Structures are given as C-alpha cells and as structure tokens.
Structure 1
Amino acid sequence: MSKISASQALSHLRVIDLSRVRAGPTCVRILADFGADVIRVEPPQGVDPNEAMFAADRDSGDFQNLNRNKRSMTLNLKREGALEVFQKLLRTADIVVENWRPEVKARLGVDYDSLRKVNPRVILASISGFGQDGPYAGRPGFDQIIQGMGGLMSVTGLPGHGPVRAGLAIADSSTGIYAAAGILIALLERERSGQGQWVQASLLHTQIAMMDFQAARFLNDGDVPVQVGNDHPTSSPMGLFEASDGAFNLGASGEGNWRRLCLALGAPELLDNPGFRTEKLRVQHRARLNRELAAIFAGATVAHWVERLNRAGVPAGPVYSVPEVFEDPQVRHLGVAQAVRTAAGRTMRLISQPITLTRTPAAIASAAPVWGEHTRELLRELEFDDGAIERLRAAGAI
C-alpha cells in the first residue's frame, strides 16, 4: 500500500506520529484528513505497559476515530538499529508530533536539538500536560487533572454542588487543535526561512486559554467566575428553559435579540419593565425574568418554541441525547458521520473533519491501521532489504 490519499491539501507533507492517548492523535488527525502522509510509529506489541489504555483495541470506535488515514510501523527505540531506522525516516519527514516527557525525548534522541541535526527543516510539535520546562514539567497531565487546575471545573455545574468536570476531554482535544494550528504556522514560516522549529502546546496553558472571557473577566475586572448552572454568567435571558414536553436552550443576549424575543412571545410589556430595560438589569434580575419566561414557555412544546423563535431570528435549539444528535437533518446534511471499513471487515461510523475546504476537502480514506501494518512496506521505502528487516526483527527493534 502506498501512502493514503485523503486529500491533496497536505499531500506533499510527511508526518511522524509518536503521540499517544488523545491530544497528539487529535492534532495529527487534522493533518491526516487533509492528506498528509502520516506514519504512526509505536513500540511493538507488549513493550509499553500502558498500551491497553490507548492502542490495544484497534477496532474500538475511539481508536478508529482518532487514527484513521494513518499508516503504522512498529519501532522500539531502545533496541539496536532502531535509531538508525528513525533517523532515516526523519530525513524524509516534515513534522514530528510527540507527547513524551522531556527527559524521555532526550534519552531516546528525539528531542528537538537532536532532530534538527538530522533534518534542519523538521518541525517538532511537543504536547505536554504542563509545558516543556518549569516546576511541573515532569508531571503527568491527564485531561481531568487539567480541567481542575485550569479553572474549568470551578465554573461548571450547578451552584453549590461542587466542582464538575466537562463531559468530554476538552483539554486534550483543544490542545490537539492548538498544536495543529502551531504546526501549520511553522510550515508557513518555513517557506521563508527554510528552517524548522519547535512547536510546544500544553494542556494547562490551553485549558486556561479556553476559559477565554471567564479568565479575562478576572484578570481585568477582578470578577471571579463561579458556577451558574445553565445560565450564562454575563447575559440574560440565555440558558435552559422548560417547555411543556422538555427543555430547550435560548440565547437572547443583546438588545436586538431581547426585543425580537419579547415580540415573538407576544409579550411586549416585558420591554417596558424597568427591571429588564438593559442587559445589566436583566442579569441582575435574572431569577425574576426567568420566572416570567418559564410561565410562557410552559404553554407549548419544545418544537413549537424552537421553530417560532428561530423564525423570529432568536437563537434557540433543542437539547439532544447523543443518538438524537445524529438523527438531526442538519447533522445529516453536513455529513458529520461517515462510514469506513476496517481491516477486520467491520463498517464503522467516524466523525468527519468539521473544517470545509472547497477545492481540497478533507476525507476519511482509510480506517486506522492494525498494529505495525505497514512496517515492512515503510522499511522497504527507506531502502532496507529483507535481510536488514529480519535483523531488526530479531533484535526486537520492530
């Protein structure tokens, strides 16, 4: 099998993916879906004591979703001959992505200084929990740990119920996206300088950046964010409301939306209420305003209010379960779930890239590889003959 052709957008690039778990594979998936030749390099089966956590079940939906459009080769960098293989591969690469601890990179010879001696044009993207240096650089960093330390859990959940984690790996996933953006910026800069560079992204810094307006409120106004449940901390009416048959979300922030909401509800008197005349007053008197709206919304169904409010230009939407998400007509129209057939013959539905390019779109061209599926093929591409390949195998390097 030659390299996978998911798209022409990045088909001129080769990526060595040394990453594990979620943030790194999320980053590399973007590059793979847009056509980069991604080579997932991982230890032979049984070498990594944590492999069951991120690599053993190749047919799981999660593994397939993270690692489609990649080729796989095994390589144990601790064994004789493996570094030679890696360096040959490195000479052909544009990008290396890893999430190893700093001291591990240096010990195995895959730190940035070592890489650029072999290939000065290579871009190394390092993803970590806490950064490449500083007092916490050696700490392991899992998503929930970072959600707590980055402030997210302090603002998530109902007031008085204690910290709550978000229901997805937001620190991992957003760090992967930031790392991909950093790689693309470094590639553009390389067109002028001819030199690679070291791209670094940490879960902690990313999680704080994702706090966005909440963090900015504190840094500049001294306003400490707290849990406000389903309400918006600075806008009203904006949050979760109950219709006669269930809940829906309403986003009527700003004066234009507020006016449209009142007219759509047939309640123009709310516009003249002195407690609701400005956004600041509506936040201050949120509980009273929510009660007024709740009495109106109780009189009709979710479908009625969502259709009526959207027709009036007021943002509103239902609250779906995950199965309901994939039944929504707009989700179907967007092609969010796409089918792929695995090496084991199983048809799986994966999440397509949410970025649309009109001439060179992303695609899911191949399922995630089985362990080391392309090892021999890639070694032959690097001009190792059958005898050399068998010697590497005998040494436990592949």
Structure 2
Amino acid sequence: MDNLPLSGIKVLDLTLVLAGPTCGRTLAQYGAEVIKIDPDHRIPGLTPWIDVGRGKKSICLNITKKGGLEAFLKLAETADVIIEGFRKGVTDRLGIGYTELKKKNPKIVYASINCFGQSGPWSLRPGFEQNAQAATGIQVRNSGGISYYPRTATYTLNDYGTGLAAAYAVILALIERQKTGKGQRVEAALTYTSANLSGGFHTFNDEYNHKQNTNDFHSGRINRFPADKPGAVRRGGRQPGLKGTNMFNRLYETKNGWLFLSAPISYQVKMMIPMAGYLNNVPEFSHIAELAHTSFAGMTDKDPEEEMYKIFLTQTTEYWINLLHKHGIEAVKNTSSEEIFNDEYNHERKMIMRQDYENWGTVTWSGNPVSINSNEPFNVSPPQFGEHTFDVLKDVGISENEIKNLIESGAIPETVPINLK
C-alpha cells in the first residue's frame, strides 16, 4: 500500500451507520491507515461492517470510562485526520471537539458529518437518510409531484454520497495543509449532498421560468404524461437539461421485463417529430414518425407513445436491445441486484468485487467509483470487531499496565476481537 496516494496518512474514524464509515472506507481504499473506534457495547450490524468497514483497523475504546479519554487523546496527537458523526456539540461535551484537539495537534484535519450541517437553526437536530430526502424535495419528486403521496427513495444515495463528499473534503484539506502547515475543520451533511445530487431541480432563473412558463418545474408537477402511466418517468416541466421523460426517453415494459429507451431528444415539442426518424429504420417502429407528426399536429387522437408501449410488449428485452443497438439506438435492460452481481462482465471491469476471506467467507461489494493508475487495494478485508485494540494502543506508547487499568475501568474489553456473526 506504500504506492497509494494516501499512504502515510493516519485517520481516526468515530462515525456510525453509513455516511461517516463510507468516508473512512474511501480513504482506506486509497492507502490511509484508518482506525475505526467503537465502544464494545456499540456493536455494528454485520452487513454495514463488511461493506464500509473494509480496509480499516478496529479498536474498542469507550472514552466515557476512566482512562478512555486520555487514551484517545494520545491517538489524536499522532493522527492526521479525525472523522466524527455526532450531533453538533456532542464532541465538545466529550472533550474531543475540534477546538480542543487542535491545541494538541494543530495539523489535524477534523471532518464533521451529520444531516443538517454545523450552522443554522436545524444544526442541532438528529437526522438520517430519509430525513435528508424529505428536507430537500426528493420524496416529493420521487412520487411525481405535490399532487401525489411523497415516496422515499429506497437507496441510500445521501449516506454513500456524503461519505464520498467528506472524503473529498478531507483530501482537499490535506492538500492545503501541505501549503500552510495547518489543519482545519471540514464538514459534510446529508442534506447538502441531497440538494447537490438533485441540483437541476434547484437551479432556477426567473426570466427563463417566465419565458418558458415552467412554474410547474419546482412544484414537481408532471408536464405531459400522468405519473400513473405504465413506465412513465417522473420529471418536472420543460426545464433546461435532460431530466426525464418523453416517448424516446423512458421505461418500456417488454415480454419478459423492462428496458429504458434513451434516444437523442430535445424536450422542445417541435423536435419530437424529426427525432422519431431515429426509429424509421426499425421495421416495428417505422410508422411512429408519421404518427408523431399527426398527433402533435392535433390530427389524430392516437397516442404515439402508447403505440410504442404496445409494440415493446410483443418481444423480449433481449430482442429489443439487440435490434435497437444494431440501429445505433441506446436501450438498457433493467437489472436486479442479483443479476448485477452474477454478471462476470461487471467483475471484469471491477464494478463488482468478490473475495473469499477466512473470517467472513465469500464477500461481494461494489467497486470504487473512480480509478487511478496506482494499484488500488480492492481486496482489503473488513477487520474483526476490536481486533487491533491492544496493538494500536501500544503503538502510541500506552503501556501494558495502562492497558490493564483500561480493562478494569471498562474503557476497553478484556477479550478481543468480538464476534459479529
């Protein structure tokens, strides 16, 4: 791991759940020594541990017990980065806040991760993935708009996204430290990530909105197709940029599943007719261009999109994808998680990873979102819970006698590792 970009960087990871641990895992995958610190009574779930615990060392340390805080401060004096995910003010009460730690280690980069940020009236509120979705409009957008019941997004885009954003902030702070010799505090928040990832829905220009009559855009209303239409993709009005649907950019059900058709298209209705020409060379759709022309001209009540929907139902997903690809039209099969993990092509391109571990058996996980020239430690094993406790403490000069005192006070367990299975 000495050839990796973050080799030599020491990180203390005090975080919980997914967002913070994802930050630590990301730093570990690029060479940082990441030490995950948990009290022995805070046993993590097995699946998140295997997912976001990979590449880290694990120690059990309760800083609220006698000697625990002093042991942590010794670790902090030798660290480059600390990641914490507590509510605002908690670390200060525990004696491990940024103001206190930078006195002992002016070069420390201190990353704070929560739901609502470190400032403003919501900064003291707890929050998780679904809270961030609700606060930034995702659940309204995911339902089709304000006329429909809000619906949560079932994937944790903000947890994982915030972890990556926090890692990005840490790396920027480390780069700046090379110039100034000083550390700093950085922050990431689930709501910041959520707003950023859905940025197009929050980008607004009064003049453009007035000219295009797009008042429905930010309210989340559907522009042309009802939300309950089979396979309809939810979007706002005629907003700038590709956001979702028309008859050439939407989900279609097939004889044995679903696919997403993605032909080049403009949202201006006047462009819909020539774009239908993309399908002219596909026999099954050769009449769609003419139908689109008469439909948009108001010469027929027949819906060209509904006609396409019926056509797609006549053949399998594989048939349509092969046919459309021959004519240069992009279409993608809707796949399940099982299909993704069983597709060897995904393993070859390292989008999906698989490894056999002595302690965990066969483990699969998603690969890194970016690739660099140096060898990435994809096959790093998750640690056993607390397995590095004694070694890490000894490395910072804590003696055998002090370790015995920590055990007696309950600051560390007598026996590690602790089995999560």
Decide whether the 8 Å contact of 2:144 with 2:234 is kept in 1: no
**More deviation, 308-317/251-260:** 251-260
Alpha-carbon shift at residue 38 of structure 1 (Å): 0.5
Which residue is equivalent to 1:374?
A: 388
Query: Counterpart of 1:254?
Result: 265
Kindly provide the CA deviation profile for residues 333-365 of structure 1, in whole angstroms up to 9, marking residues without a partner as x: 22313214153x533223332322222324232
Identify which range, 304-313 or 183-192, moves more after superposition: 304-313
Amino acid in the other structure paired with 2:249? M
Which position in structure 2 is the counterpart of 1:106? 92
1:240 has 2:251 as partner: yes
User: Normalization by structure 2: what TM-score?
Assistant: 0.81
Specify which of 41, 56, 66 is matched with residue 80 of structure 1.
Answer: 66
* Superposed displacement of residue 274, structure 1: 6.1
2:310 aligned residue: 295
**Could you tell which deviates more after superposition, 125-134 or 334-343?**
334-343
Amino acid of the structure 2 residue aligned with 1:315: E
Matching residue's letter, 1:310: H
2:233 to 217, 231, 238: 231
1:207 to 183, 188, 194: 194
Alignment of 1:243-282 (within 5 A): 243-254=254-265, 259-264=277-282, 267-271=285-289, 275=293
Confirm or deny: 8 A CA contact 1:16 1:40 kept in the other structure.
yes
Q: Does 1:144 align with 2:158?
A: no
Alpha-carbon deviation of 1:32? 1.0
Match of 2:28 among 10, 26, 32: 32
What does residue range 306-321 of structure 1 map to in structure 2 within 5 Å? 306-321=321-336
Q: For residue 8 of structure 1, what is the amino acid of its counterpart?
A: L
Does structure 2 retain, via aligned residues, the 8 Å contact 1:121–1:196?
yes
Decide whether the 8 Å contact of 2:144 with 2:221 is kept in 1: no
The TM-score normalised by the length of structure 1 is: 0.86
User: Whose RCO is larger (CA < 8 A, sep 6+)?
Assistant: 1
- Show the counterpart of 2:149: 162
Q: Structure 2: any 5+ residue segments left out of the alignment?
A: 210-214, 236-243, 267-273, 413-421
CA 1:110–1:312 in structure 2 vs 1: closer, same or farther (change >3 Å)?
farther
Deviations 1:151-185 (Å, cap 9, x if unpaired)? 11101146765111112112211111111111111
Q: Deviations over 1:88-138 (max 9, x none)?
A: 211221111110112211111222111211111111110011111221111
For the residue of structure 2 that corresponds to 1:326, the secondary structure is helix
Q: Check conservation: 2:11, 2:32, Cα contact below 8 A.
A: yes
**Which amino acid is the alignment partner of residue 132 of structure 1?**
Q
Q: Look up the equivalent residue of 1:210 and give its one-letter code.
A: L
- Name the aligned partner's letter for residue 260 of structure 1: Y
1:139 aligns to what SS in structure 2? coil
- State the 1:310 CA deviation: 2.6
CA distance in 2, matches of 1:276, 1:169: 44
Q: Is the 8 A contact 1:61 1:350 kept in 2?
A: no
Q: CA deviation at 1:268?
A: 4.8
Spell out, residue by residue over 1:26-80, the C-alpha distance to the aligned partner (whole angstroms, 9 max, x if none).
111111111210000111x22xxxx35xx1x4xx233211101111112211223
Where do residues 33-112 of structure 1 align in structure 2 (5 Å cutoff)? 33-43=29-39, 45-46=40-41, 51=42, 55=44, 57=45, 60-112=46-98
- How many residue pairs align between the two structures? 377
The one of 353, 368, 374 aligned to 1:337? 353
| 1:179 maps onto 2:166 in alignment | yes
* Residue aligning to 1:396: 410
Q: Which runs of 5+ in 1 are unaligned?
A: none
> Which letter maps to 2:278?
R
Distance change (3 Å), C-alpha of 1:274 and 1:313: closer
Distance in structure 2 (CA, Å) of the matches to 1:217 and 1:289: 32
Aligned residues with identical type, % of pairs: 29
Q: Secondary structure at the match of 2:303?
A: helix
CA distance in 2 between partners of 1:199 and 1:313 (Å): 46
